Amino acid sequence: MSTNNNEELNELAASSQSKQSTSTTDDTTTTTTTTTTKPAPQSSTQPKMVAAKPSPTSDTSTTVSSAAAKPSATAPPAKTQPEPPPFEKGLVEQIRSKFGDLVKVVFIKPLRIKILVEPQDIVGVAGFLRDSMGFDHAESVGGTDYPKDNQIEVIYHLGSYTREELAAHILWLTTRTDRDDARLPTLINVYKSVEYHERECYEMLGVYFEGHPRNERFLLPEDWADIPPLRKDFRIKGR
């Protein structure tokens, strides 16, 4: 009876150990299975995925294509000088027929003509304009300083009282002189009206008119000691 009891006890003990082992194994298996099925945590050192930016080449290509599509700019047509008015052109032809290359035509415009002559020729040209063409008086005389050319240009504005068709016309008779030794022959014996105008050019630009009876001041003070005030290099003192 005791032997049977011992065997039963041993079987119970073995059965108990087997259950414990199975349970433990099952737990382990379950635990292991559960652990392996969980997603692995993302490493902090793993680089993050960044959305790819569009390549700048595509924009450049679009720009180049756009620019290539634009038509190229064409050069503007060269400006052509308008045909001079017939009446003024006829006046210039009269002057050229008399003096040829001694007279340079600067421009021909409606009611305006500008010619340039050398100082030694100006008296003879002025006499022809008065006696043969009807430009009988000088309305004014002016001057322009050209420091870069080292020259001063004197302009006589000639008009007509005797020829009705010339009443609205002005002929610019011009000549140039050396800026460092500004001397020109006077036209006072051709046009009496230039007396004060030539004096003003003498005073304000420093052009001495040979043969003029009064190359002297009448606008500036007598003690003026500076350069002529209408020359480009004149500066007001204190500025």
Any domain includes 39: no
The 10s digit of each residue's pLDDT in 9-40 is 555 555 555 444 444 444 444 444 444 444 45
**114 in a domain, yes or no?**
yes
Q: Is residue 238 part of a domain?
A: no
Enter the tokens of residue 207: 């052009």
Q: What is the DSSP string of 14-58?
A: HHHHHHHHHHHHHHHHHHHHHHHHSPPPPPTTSPPP-PPPPPHHH
pLDDT digits (tens, 9 = 90+) for 202-217: 999 999 999 999 998 8
Find the CATH number of the domain harbouring 180. Answer: 3.30.460.80
Q: Judge whether 140 lies within some domain.
A: yes
pLDDT greater than 60 at residue 51:
no
Evaluate whether residue 186 is within a structural domain: yes
Share above pLDDT 90 across residues of the chain, in percent, rounded to a whole number: 60
- Averaged confidence pLDDT in the chain: 80
CB 115 within 8 A of CB 173: yes
Domain coverage including residue 92: 86-210
CB 210 within 8 A of CB 184: yes
Q: How many domains does the chain have?
A: 1
Task: Say if 182 falls within a structural domain.
Answer: yes
Residue 31 inside a domain? The answer is: no
* Cβ atoms 72, 130 nearer than 8 A: no
- Residue 74 falls inside a structural domain: no
- Which band of pLDDT confidence, cut at 50, 70 and 90, is reported for residue 47? very low
Single-letter code of the amino acid located at 106: V
